[in-house]
Structure 1
């Protein structure tokens, strides 16, 4: 069975380094581990890499539309590659976890995350695996919108890079040993 691993983010160079694009960063790391490069799949309005990851057949995907429209691409990728939602892993930024935190889970609400909301609406379920990448809350009076669309501060960059590696490890663990063992190893 094929796994679909989707990293959430916004397309384009102006968003590339932002907190909201941590899902893209993790899929970049996974693509490097697979020895692949993203290419366009016009039928899904997404960029994809397919191959083997930890001995499992996998497709890495990321939408070419903005975060709040991610669901259309995810739905199209599930259909195109004939993947059931129980083999979908979505990597996303999480305001409610401090930077350096990682949580893996199955299902749940969207907690105000527009990418997750779009996916739930498009595929008709929230029962898919999630790798939640902690980015923390905005400091002071900064709005959530401004915070997620800004890059990590220089003092946060090393920590964020470490969590990208750990999140990629967690994805591979989900695919090979399942949710419970992955949670025991990575949720902190």
Structure 2
């Protein structure tokens, strides 16, 4: 039987320079979830900030975490927390930016390729190639013209996007909660 403990990892980069960039949307979603629960992170020995809480009254135990390192090094802290809390791969939810979805779109899936996303590549690598984790894909859209994708995701959201960002973050946080409480098929039906 699968463990009731879940790990929700919000991907991003550390420091104020990256705080409100497209690549840090995973951090923003976890900040929203912690605000809803009036919870605060503490530092761990795994190179991540984390907090453990129950999601909803009588809900499952959930570890909310963000790496204190850069995106392409996300796998080591995620794996450390999974091992420490005995979280199986199928109970890992990774919230990340997605270039292949227009801004504001939310897609949920289990497994699949990493699509060039270095944070996902790092996690999959540290899980020994196991891709059977859940992903909350936060659409940030493609870069304009010939702009490099890496430069684009490290920029702040446009003025037009910033007007909708709060609603988008809230929808992403709702999707995470649904994944844990209702499971993937029901969450996909509600979100897609």
**What TM-score does the superposition give when structure 1 sets the normalisation length?**
0.97
Cα deviation, residue 20, structure 1: 0.0
Cα deviation, residue 185, structure 1: 0.7
SS at match of 1:136: coil
Which runs of no fewer than 5 residues in structure 1 stay unpaired? none
Q: Which residue in 1 is equivalent to 2:186?
A: 181
SS at match of 1:44: coil
The residue correspondences of 1:1-188 to structure 2 (distance < 5 A) are 1-41=4-44, 43-54=45-56, 55-124=59-128, 125-187=130-192
How far apart, in 2, do the equivalents of 1:154 and 1:52 lie? Answer: 36
Cα deviation, residue 177, structure 1: 0.7
Q: C-alpha deviations, 1:98-144, integer Å up to 9, x for none?
A: 00100000001100000000000001211001000000000112111
Comparing 49-58 with 78-87, greater Cα deviation is found at 49-58
- Give the number of aligned pairs: 186
SS at match of 1:14: helix
How far apart, in 2, do the equivalents of 1:158 and 1:127 lie? Answer: 34
4+ residue stretches of structure 1 with deviation over 6 A? none
Cα deviation, residue 146, structure 1: 1.0
Alpha-carbon RMSD across the aligned residues, in angstroms, is 0.8
